[in-house]
Structure 1
Amino acid sequence: MRLRRAARVILIGAPGVGKGTQSERLLSRFPQLSAISSGDLLRHNVKNRTPLGIKVEHTMKTGGLVSDNLILRLITNELNTRGWLSGGRPNVMTLSSSAASELSSFDEPAVASRGMDPFLSSLELDPNAGARLSSQASEDPSASFLLDGFPRTAPQAERLDDIVPINWAVSIQTPVDVILERISSRWVHEPSGRVYNTSFNAPKVPGLDDVTGEPLVRRADDSEDVYRARFRKFQETSEPLLEHYAKKGVLWEVHGHSSDEISPKLFREFERRFL
C-alpha cells in the first residue's frame, strides 16, 4: 500500500489508553511510516556523546526538563538528515550524519572558550528559519512519520508547526473507568519490561514471568489515586493541544474500550486520508 502524500502523525491520549500499542500497529501495517521518538533521539545523543547529548545529559540525570528549543533542534536535525526538509541549515548535530561523530569529539569548554555555541538552535539564531523550513517540508510519501513524545502542549505544537506541520492528530478516547480496570490488572517483569494483564494477556503461571519464571510485580504508579492525578494533569495540557489541532482541521477522534476495537477504525481513517 503506497501512500499518496506524506503522513505526519501524532497520537494523543491519556496514560494507559494504548498509544504504544496503536503506534506499533500503525508502523507494522504501513511500512512507509517511520517512528521518530524525542526520547530515543535524546538517549541516542547522550549515549554517543554528541554536543547536544553533553548539553542535556546533566539535565536528564537530575530529573530536569529538556528545553523545547533543544527538543525542536533534535527533531529538526533528524528530519533534515533524512532529507525531509529542504533549504535548511547544514547537517549539524544530527543522528545519522558524520557531523555527529565529528562534533562529538569537540571539547565543550574549548568550544565555549572560542565563543562558539554548537547547541544554539537555528530557530533561535534566525526567527524566520522555522517558516522557511515549514514551507519546504517534503510532501513525498517517503517522508511519513509517527512522532512520539512531542508535542505535549499547545505552545510546543505551535513551535513544531513552524518546522514541520502535523497533518493528522489522533485523539484516542477510552473511558477512565476502563483504563483503571486495565491498569489494576497489569503486572510487569521489571528486568525485561515484559507486561502482562490478567484480563487479556495473563502469564502462563499466575504471578510469574513466562520466560524466566521470576516473580511479577505491580508498578508503583498503577494505583487509582496516582492514575487520577496523572489523568487530571493530562487533561490540563491536552485540552489546549487538542483545540490547537482542531482549529487547524487535522484533529480526529477515535473511541473504543480496547486496542482491538480502536485499531480497525484507526487503519480505515489513515487509509482514507493518505492512501
Structure 2
Amino acid sequence: MRLIFLGPPGAGKGTVAAKIKEAYGIAHISTGDILRENVKRGTSLGKLAERYMQAGDLVPDDIIVEMVESRLQEPDCSEGFILDGFPRTLPQAEALDRILKKLKVKLDAVILLEVDDETIVKRLSGRRVCPKCGAIYNVSFNPPKADSLCDHCGEMAIQRNDDKEEVVRQRLAVYRERTAPLIDYYLRKGILKKVEAARGSDEVAHAIEESLAGGYHGHA
C-alpha cells in the first residue's frame, strides 16, 4: 500500500498516518519530522531548513526531494509507505513521479484530509509538544493532566514557533497557494480520495480504511 496524505497543516495527517501505518504495516514518512530532526541535530540541512520553517514558508524543493528519495529506499518502505507532508507543490509531485518510476512502484491512493481554517487555527495554536519525549497535547481538547507538564516524563510542554496563530495563518495561506493545485493533479490521475477530517482521529482512520477497501485489495 503506497499512499500520500494531503491536507492543510493541522488536519491531523501525522496522527491519522500513525493509525494507518499500524493497520497496514507500512512506513510513515513525515518530511516535517525528518526536517525537525535535522534542525535539532544542527546538520547543514537543518540550519538551511530552519530559516524557512521559522518564517512559515516552505523548504525549497531540491532539499526535500533529495531527502525523500533516500528515505524511500530504506528497507521499511518495501511493503509500502505513507508520505505525510510531501509533495506540497506541483514540481515536488512531478519529482515524486520520477522517483517512483525509478523505483518501479506506483501510488495506490492520495488521501485528502479536509478541515476548515478556523478549526485548524484552534487546533494548532492550542497545540503543546513535549520537547523531551515528543508527546502532543492541546490546551482545548487534550491538555496535560498537571499544569503544562508532560504526563509521560514531567517536562514542560511548549508551543512550537510554527504553531503561533500568525504563523499558522501564514502556513494556511502558503498551503492554499502552493499545495491546493495538487488536488487537481491527483484528481486527474483518478487516485484522489477526500475524507472529512474535523472529527476524532479514530473516525478519520476508519473512514480512510473504508475508502481504501473500496478500491484496493491486498496489503503489499
Unpaired stretches in structure 1, ≥5 consecutive residues: 1-6, 46-56, 85-141
The match for 1:206 among 134, 147, 156 is 147
1:28 offset after TM fit, Å?
0.7
Matches within 5 A, 1:107-186: 143-164=79-100, 165-186=106-127
Identity fraction in percent: 36
- 1:150-185 CA deviation, whole Å, 9 max, x = no partner? 321111111221332433111100111112222343
Name the structure with the higher helix share: 2
The number of aligned residues is 201
1:205 offset after TM fit, Å?
1.6
The match for 1:268 among 206, 210, 217 is 210
| 2: CA distance, partners of 1:150 / 1:163 | 13
Distance of aligned partners of 1:254 and 1:75 in 2 relative to their CA distance in 1, 3 Å threshold: same
Unpaired stretches in structure 2, ≥5 consecutive residues: 53-58, 101-105
Alignment-derived partner of residue 195 in structure 1: 136
Matches within 5 A, 1:1-275: 7-31=1-25, 33-38=26-31, 57-63=43-49, 68=61, 71-72=64-65, 75-76=68-69, 79=72, 82=75, 143-164=79-100, 165-258=106-199, 259-275=201-217
CA-based RMSD of the aligned residues comes to 3.2
Q: TM-score, normalised by structure 1?
A: 0.61
1:241 offset after TM fit, Å?
1.3
Distance of aligned partners of 1:78 and 1:260 in 2 relative to their CA distance in 1, 3 Å threshold: closer
Whose radius of gyration is greater, 1 or 2? 1
Distance of aligned partners of 1:233 and 1:59 in 2 relative to their CA distance in 1, 3 Å threshold: same
SS in 2 for 1:203: coil
| 2: CA distance, partners of 1:42 / 1:214 | 23
Tell me if the contact between 2:36 and 2:46 (Cα under 8 Å) persists in the aligned partners: no
SS in 2 for 1:162: helix
